[in-house]
A and B are shown apart, each in its own frame.
Chain A
Amino acid sequence: MAVGLLGIGYGFFDAPKTTEQVEKILEAKHHGHDAHADAHHSKAEGHDHAAHEAEHQEHLEHVLHQLQNKPWAAVYVSALFFMLISLGVLAFYAIQNVAQAGWSPILFRVMQGITAYLPVGSVIFFILLVLSAFHFNHLFVWMDADLINPESPKFDKLIANKSGYLNEYAWLIRAAIFLIGWNLYRYFSRRNCLAQDEASDNTFFKKNFNISAGFLVFFIVTESIMSWDWIMSVDPHWFSTLFGWYVFASFFVSGITVIALTTLYLKSRGYLEHVNTSHIHDLAKFMFGISIFWTYLWFSQFMLIWYSNIPEEVTYFITRIEQYNLPFFGMLAMNFIFPFLILINTDFKRITWILVMAGIVILFGHYIDFFNMIMPATVGDQWFIGAAELGALAFFLGLFIFVVFSALTKSPLVPKRNPFIEESKHFHY
């Protein structure tokens, strides 16, 4: 966490404040790329000097915004990623409750431990959203008041038409409703689960069943809107209908992977007596299946847009392929090809070190997935995975681990009176 904080601090310190500084940075870069500089000059010859100067200034301003966004976007991606991981775990937990799964109750306390990050993560994330809404950064282009002002030279009709939905207040209120709703479910389901341990009948279990079903309905609606608000709206000119599902698959598989990794760790330390390789095998199957589900949605979104090639949609992928080639296709290898080939084998799904390796690759792959969703619109071709990005990642990883493992110490790791706990203890596949 400390290293991460230093990294974030350095990232903000390093961000340029004025266009003059940007000019210096660009010049320093151009020294390294003579060919690039030449192209720049030869292009400039056609223009007269003044026009060139204005254009140059405009370019500098553009790059300045991108560089100023960089540390903000780095923090934003990491905060969002870790908060959504715990949300993914919460969704998985609710599904297991509603489906009355016989294998998983033994893991419920592990899942509750992981979702303990949700309140902490929500607060940090909401503060980030408030900072954005009050113009401490330029992550969300549509928040610029000039864009919806018809008098302004920067007036953007497309964004102005969306301002009924995309305006700071409605946006913050929606965010608050989503975060409060998710946290309420987490709070009450954990409380009921603990109360069920001491109860003499199954009322709390039934209550949990009901609120889990209600939560899943709430979740799927809010998840969709959340993905428009927090991720899609960084590109306010672009829209995609299956985007919500795509984002869901991404953090859902990450959440399941985190459950598997935490379980393996606790098991290796001897804290989970009743968890056997069959439980691990089931989690690995979910990791495998949802990885492929993610790929299916990724490809469906990509291929439909690539195929029809409508200009207003396709720019989204053109910027990504041209400027983010390695992350964009690298994540496909990490999130699909690697888990597909590794986790297809039944025996491998029970071997700890293979699962840990696959899990780490999947988590990194989905971090890059979120990186790819946010960065192109906020920092564009100025992206780099450097101190700010790694610092933010390390900070939130440290916070996540700290919160999760302190939460795990607060209650016994095996629920006592869950009606399915005996079946779960003897689960064998």
Chain B
Amino acid sequence: MSTKVIHALYNDDDILMDAVKETRKAHHHIEEVYTPFPVHGLDKAMGLAPTRLAIASFMYGAVGLAVATWMMNFIMIQDWPQDIGGKPSFSYIENMPAFVPIMFELTVFFAAHLMVITFYMRSKLWPFKQAENPDVRTTDDHFLMEVTVNNNEEELTSFLKNTGAVEIKVVEKH
């Protein structure tokens, strides 16, 4: 099934924000918005759900802390409790201050890297990925709003024209 979408191009982020708000008010479905840089408040205007990346990161950090603790407890305390320079290796807590730098670093390492990988996976980014750019100008100085058409092409075109679009294109999408 092929659907039609309208690409409305803007050349100012303030006009884009107003257009997004009006389009949402008129209950037209915004498929996607392409911008050359982050526009503050755009996600709120579009009504996007907040990200849960921070929560994921916190849990990854907890995993990192657990890995560090388990690893050093096994190596330094359980497996081969040597006397190294008089450090007490009878229990984990007794020698814990010496392990804290590693526990800290591994927590940060896990939290940071796994969060970044999660971000790549969730936003489907990888090397050699085909770019999904509908118009090359959106990476430089134009803003593009993509709105779905439901047998209301005429009306939608004129509506978007009124929101300050500099260019309107009707595109077949596969």
Contact = CB atoms under 8 A, between A and B. Distances in A.
B100 interface: yes
Contacts of A344: 58
Contact of A307 (B54, B58, B98): B98
B58 A303 contact: no
Interface in B80-97: 86, 97
Interface string B118-143: 00000000000000000000000000
Interface in A294-346: 299, 302-303, 306-307, 309, 344, 346
A306 B97 CA distance: 8
B100 A299 contact: yes
B86 A303 contact: no
Contacts of A346: 54
Contacts of B54: 346
A307 B54 CA distance: 35
B97 A307 contact: yes
B51 to A, nearest CB: 11
Nearest to A299: B100
A306 B54 CA distance: 35
A309 B98 contact: no
Instruction: Give the interface size bracket for A toward B.
Output: under 10
B173 to A, nearest CB: 37
A312 to B, nearest CB: 17
Interface SS of chain B: helix, strand, loop or mixed?
helix
Interface in B37-95: 54, 58, 86
Contacts of A299: 97, 100
Interface SS of chain A: helix, strand, loop or mixed?
helix
Contacts, number: 12
Interface string A129-157: 00000000000000000000000000000
Contacts of B97: 299, 302-303, 306-307
| Residue in B97, B98, B100 with the greatest tally of chain A CB atoms within 10 Å | B97
Interface residues of B, number: 6
A302 B101 CA distance: 13
B52 to A, nearest CB: 12
A102 to B, nearest CB: 15
Contacts of B86: 309
Contacts of A306: 97
A428 to B, nearest CB: 10
A309 B95 CA distance: 13
Interface string A74-96: 00000000000000000000000
A349 to B, nearest CB: 13
Interface in A236-283: none
A307 B85 CA distance: 10
B79 to A, nearest CB: 22
A299 B104 CA distance: 12
A258 B54 CA distance: 28
Nearest to B58: A344
Contacts of B100: 299, 303
B90 to A, nearest CB: 16
B126 to A, nearest CB: 29
Nearest to A296: B104
Nearest to A347: B50
A307 B86 CA distance: 10
A184 B100 CA distance: 43
A305 B100 CA distance: 14
A429 to B, nearest CB: 11
A348 to B, nearest CB: 12
A105 to B, nearest CB: 22
A244 B125 CA distance: 48
A316 to B, nearest CB: 15
B118 to A, nearest CB: 18
A304 B117 CA distance: 35
A302 B98 CA distance: 11
Contacts of A302: 97
Interface in B6-57: 54
A181 B58 CA distance: 44
A306 to B, nearest CB: 5
A299 B97 CA distance: 8
A187 B98 CA distance: 47
A307 B97 CA distance: 8
B69 to A, nearest CB: 15
Nearest to A304: B97
B39 to A, nearest CB: 16
A344 B86 CA distance: 38
Contacts of A307: 97-98
B12 to A, nearest CB: 21
A157 B97 CA distance: 33
Contacts of B98: 303, 307
Interface string A182-195: 00000000000000
A404 B10 CA distance: 54
A302 B58 CA distance: 27
B37 to A, nearest CB: 20
A302 B96 CA distance: 12
A344 B61 CA distance: 13
12 contacts: A299-B97, A299-B100, A302-B97, A303-B97, A303-B98, A303-B100, A306-B97, A307-B97, A307-B98, A309-B86, A344-B58, A346-B54
Interface of A: 299, 302-303, 306-307, 309, 344, 346
Given A299-B97, A306-B97, A346-B54, 4 more contacts: A303-B97, A303-B98, A307-B98, A309-B86
Q: Which 4 pairs show the lowest CB-CB distances between chains A and B?
A: A303-B97, A306-B97, A307-B98, A299-B100
